Structure 1
Amino acid sequence: MGAKAPLYQTLSLVLFLGLWPSIASALELPRALEMAHERDGSLSALEARVSSLREQSVAAGRLPDPKLLLGYEESEMMSEFMVGIRQEFPRSSRLNLRSQQFEHQADAQLARQQDWQRQLNRNVQRAYLELWYQQRAVDIVNHHSNLLRDLADVARQQYAAGRLSQQQMLMLELEQAMQQDRLTGILSARDDARSALARWVGEAAWQQKLPHDLPALANVPPMDELLSALPAHPAITADDAAIRALESDVRLAGQHYSGFMVDALYARADNDDQTFTIMLEVGIPIAPGRLQERNASAARQRSSAASLDRIEKLRQLESDLRTQHQRWQRLQERIELSRTTVLPHSRIVSDAAASGYQNLSANFDGLLRAAVYELENQLRHQRLLADAAQVQANLLYYSNGAHHE
């Protein structure tokens, strides 16, 4: 018979095979984003609102439709039938203001649509990344369960030979029970993550696994570029357009009595007498301070309030951006430390403990602790990767909303 492979080599092989991904029919992030946009009804609703307001803008710039006037008058001397047309002629500047107001409202809806597209990208990316982590966590814990199972087989042989105590066997059984509980918790978290992603992509979240590798997102621009781009963010430009619409409302309030109305009437009596009458109707501002000025004042206050809300929203976006960017930088530092130091050292310690135990130079307790530490460090590293990518998705919301590289 050939020589048996060292224990640490056997465990390393189990690790490799246990973590090898199955990516058949994998749901890629770009496809998940496409599916989310195809399924989302909010984008279609916002687009319909934009089209509606554009049409209203065109209609508001034209003269109102004329009105048909019909009448009949009967007296002791004669009966008379009347027919006519009434046409309203608003001031041309008022028509332009009404048209511009609807156009500004359409611009605001379009900006809200663009903002929702960014929010949708961010929501899908974060849900996808959370499921990616939970899926990786299941793979890692399953690997470690296999590792503990192999250790248990070896431990029972050592216990039968008198090399392990009953307390050490109980420690191993306790670790296996804790590992099973951990796996159950992660499976539950994975189901929750699938449900969250299914909200955006449907059944594909349940029917397809995600790829093994962490998906690549677009690069995060420098902080100064992110800050300078905030005034052009759709959440802010929507407010800008809404404020312009309110400013049009202020000017419209100042033209409450602008324009006139013309009636053209034709009348014919039963004695064949005919008359043609033209009437001009003009509004008279008897108490302009009580109506026109108050309407204008109310419009100015609405515009002022919207401007203050816009300033506060911009401040909040800047505060959130700085918080997210700082967190992202700290996560990058932790990932680098984990990648260059923690994980390699965990692997070395685990291999050394397995080799030492096989050569009788290390005890079983040290081998078990090394295996547990390696598991925890692997899970922590994957969590850091997912957290950093989720924060990166948050930062992309503040820049250009790019989906992926």
Structure 2
Amino acid sequence: MSMPAIAAFAAALQLSTAIAQPASEPSPLSLAEAVLIAGQTEDPAIGSLRSRAVALERAGEAAMALPDPTLRVGLANLPLSNLDPNSEAMTQMQVGVRQVIPSNASRHLQRERQRAQAQGVLALGGLEQRLITRSVRLAWLEAYYWEQAGELTRARREEIRQLSEVATALFASGRGNSHDVIRVDLETALLDARQIEIDRQIGTARAQLARYVGAAAAGRDMLPRLPVLPALPGGDEALDALARHPSVMSRNARIEASEREIDLALEAYNPVWSVDAGYGVRGSRSDVASIGVSVQMPIFSQRRQDESVAGARQMRSAEELGRRALLLDLRRQLDEDWIRFQRLNETAMIYETGVLERARETTAAVLAAYENEQADFAELVRSELALLDIELTLIRTRVDALQAHSRILFLTGDVQ
């Protein structure tokens, strides 16, 4: 057999093997992968802000151009006695052009103002990206918790079902009580209702996650272990990071734009020059030309320029006060999330090192006592359900701590 024939046979064999093998199940979705998918997907909100920033940049470049000249066409010195343009030698057809020349400084100030506004919009784009990352983390962690809650609830329901069989058998043999069977049926029904609520919560969390990663990725199972988030900065470093928060950077850009507004208002005190040129056509006499310079005189400055400057300064003061209020709010959020993060981790440590182990020992002891007819059936069921609640509380506490961690990262940024 020739080499091309061998290669073709091998390719056909690989293809038939691939067809024969069933499609592999999608791998579980990790939190890091979900954040990566969301970061690589162009979100419409971010795209909108980028377009607005580009529009402001172009408007700034357009401000550097001179205003369009004004063309004037008219008939001068027309006699009113007969309205005959040929009866008077002074009658002429005029064509004129007027060009306003704003100061070079004012045009540069307008461009700088537009650029500052564009930087503020770009900072809002960075804020939107952080919001997306935080939302993905919170939704993934929420879906993780409810999936774990569902698995634990189903496992505990299976154990309760087995206890129900034991209670039914004992009752049938005359050694048990009917209320044991009824109690197990009640607890089973309550677990079924709890499972329905868990499924609803899973659907809600996945819907929130699908907003940023797509339905296909959100439909995958969550990776069955808690993620490791980026490290948190230290106390002073976290406070310094607040000053670099995108919302603060956007406010800084707005303050810079308001400062350019003050400069523009002050520039309005300077006169604005314009150049006029005209040409007159007279039928019986020589054509005439004219040229002149006009200047706008800021005589009524008290009612116009003074008020404009005062208003621009008040706007800058308002923006600076808004930045101070924003920093105070960010500091409050950081303090709240930091305390919550620390206390939740302390609570989880207590559950892991003491509460959970004692709950398991209690369940095992009650089971042994029940087998030796030293404990009743209701106490056995209560111990199983108490163990379930403790396990769920531990997972909820760990997830809540990681969600607080995610909120701190939103405020301080991921430490590289």
Measured against the shorter chain, the TM-score band is 0.7 to 0.9
Counterpart AA for 2:389: E
1:6-405 alignment runs, 5 A limit? 24-37=26-39, 38=41, 40-73=43-76, 75=85, 76-78=87-89, 80-204=92-216, 207-258=219-270, 259-271=272-284, 273-360=286-373, 362-401=375-414
Q: C-alpha displacement at 1:197, in angstroms?
A: 2.4
Counterpart AA for 1:397: F
Equivalent residues of 1:39, 1:201 under 8 A apart: no
Q: C-alpha displacement at 1:372, in angstroms?
A: 0.9
Q: 1:369 to 1:97 in 2, by over 3 A?
A: same
What CA distance in whole angstroms lies between the structure 1 residues aligned with 2:345 and 2:384?
26
| Worse-matched range after superposition: 64-73 or 179-188 | 64-73
| Worse-matched range after superposition: 374-383 or 168-177 | 168-177
Counterpart AA for 2:213: V
Larger RCO of the pair (alpha carbons < 8 Å, separation 6+): 1
What CA distance in whole angstroms lies between the structure 2 residues aligned with 1:272 and 1:376?
108
Counterpart AA for 2:29: L
Counterpart AA for 1:195: A
Counterpart AA for 1:30: A
Tell me the secondary structure at the aligned position of residue 239 of structure 2. Answer: helix
Counterpart AA for 2:246: P
Q: C-alpha displacement at 1:401, in angstroms?
A: 4.8
TM-score of the two chains, using structure 1 as the length reference: 0.87
Q: C-alpha displacement at 1:68, in angstroms?
A: 3.8
What CA distance in whole angstroms lies between the structure 2 residues aligned with 1:97 and 1:237?
21
What CA distance in whole angstroms lies between the structure 1 residues aligned with 2:243 and 2:54?
25
What CA distance in whole angstroms lies between the structure 1 residues aligned with 2:361 and 2:291?
102
Equivalent residues of 2:29, 2:220 under 8 A apart: yes
Equivalent residues of 1:133, 1:386 under 8 A apart: yes
What CA distance in whole angstroms lies between the structure 2 residues aligned with 1:41 and 1:49?
12
Counterpart AA for 1:324: D
Question: What's the CA shift string for 1:218-267, capped at 9, x where partnerless?
Answer: 11212221112212211111111101111111121122243311122233
| Worse-matched range after superposition: 110-119 or 266-275 | 266-275
Counterpart AA for 2:334: L
What CA distance in whole angstroms lies between the structure 1 residues aligned with 2:234 and 2:175?
60
Partner of 2:21: none
Tell me the secondary structure at the aligned position of residue 67 of structure 2. Answer: coil
Tell me the secondary structure at the aligned position of residue 282 of structure 1. Answer: strand
What CA distance in whole angstroms lies between the structure 1 residues aligned with 2:395 and 2:209?
19
| Worse-matched range after superposition: 257-266 or 172-181 | 257-266
What CA distance in whole angstroms lies between the structure 2 residues aligned with 1:127 and 1:172?
35
| Residue-pair matches, total | 382
What CA distance in whole angstroms lies between the structure 2 residues aligned with 1:98 and 1:36?
37
Q: C-alpha displacement at 1:292, in angstroms?
A: 0.8
Tell me the secondary structure at the aligned position of residue 260 of structure 1. Answer: strand
Tell me the secondary structure at the aligned position of residue 243 of structure 2. Answer: helix
What CA distance in whole angstroms lies between the structure 2 residues aligned with 1:333 and 1:62?
63
TM-score of the two chains, using structure 2 as the length reference: 0.85
Question: What's the CA shift string for 1:357-380, capped at 9, x where partnerless?
Answer: 345554433322221111101111
Q: C-alpha displacement at 1:43, in angstroms?
A: 0.1
Q: C-alpha displacement at 1:175, in angstroms?
A: 1.4
What CA distance in whole angstroms lies between the structure 1 residues aligned with 2:355 and 2:122?
48
Counterpart AA for 2:190: M
Tell me the secondary structure at the aligned position of residue 265 of structure 1. Answer: strand
RMSD: 2.3
Tell me the secondary structure at the aligned position of residue 279 of structure 1. Answer: strand
Equivalent residues of 2:232, 2:414 under 8 A apart: no
Equivalent residues of 2:38, 2:136 under 8 A apart: yes
Question: What's the CA shift string for 1:341-397, capped at 9, x where partnerless?
Answer: 122222222233334434555443332222111110111111112111111111011
Q: C-alpha displacement at 1:133, in angstroms?
A: 1.1
Counterpart AA for 2:328: R
Question: What's the CA shift string for 1:81-106, capped at 9, x where partnerless?
Answer: 43443322212221221111111111
Q: C-alpha displacement at 1:272, in angstroms?
A: 6.4
Structure 1, unpaired ranges of 5+: 1-21
Partner of 1:15: none
Tell me the secondary structure at the aligned position of residue 267 of structure 2. Answer: coil
Equivalent residues of 1:118, 1:401 under 8 A apart: no
What CA distance in whole angstroms lies between the structure 1 residues aligned with 2:231 and 2:133?
15
Tell me the secondary structure at the aligned position of residue 232 of structure 1. Answer: coil
| Worse-matched range after superposition: 27-36 or 115-124 | 27-36
Q: 1:179 to 1:217 in 2, by over 3 A?
A: same
Partner of 2:8: none
Counterpart AA for 2:316: S
State the percentage of identical aligned residues.
Answer: 31
